[in-house]
Amino acid sequence: FQGPATGVIVERERLDKFGKPLLGATVKPKLGLSGKNYGRVVYEGLRGGLDFLKDDENINSQPFMRWKER
């Protein structure tokens, strides 16, 4: 592994955020969120100040919420 393709400087430039910590979170769809509630969690997190969110199930679908719903 040669390391990431970009570093934190590039991410700060993309987000235009310097001098403050970058804040992110991981959303866990398998906790039973519906597609609508998942969207609400993402919306509220970003409106509340998160810089990024990661979908913990980004490579598969769960029976209660298919990938396309997210």
Average pLDDT over residues 61-69: 70
Task: Look up the domain containing 16 and give its range.
Answer: 8-69
Tell me the pLDDT of the chain averaged across its residues: 85
Q: Higher pLDDT residue, 6 or 31?
A: 6
38-64 confidence digits (pLDDT tens): 889 999 999 999 999 988 766 667 776
Burial of 33 (0-12, 13-18, 19+ CB in 10 A): buried
Look up the pTM and report it.
Answer: 0.66
Domains held by the chain: number: 1
Q: Within a domain: residue 2?
A: no
Most confident by average pLDDT, 4-8, 55-59, 66-70: 4-8
Give CA 49 to chain center in angstroms. Answer: 12
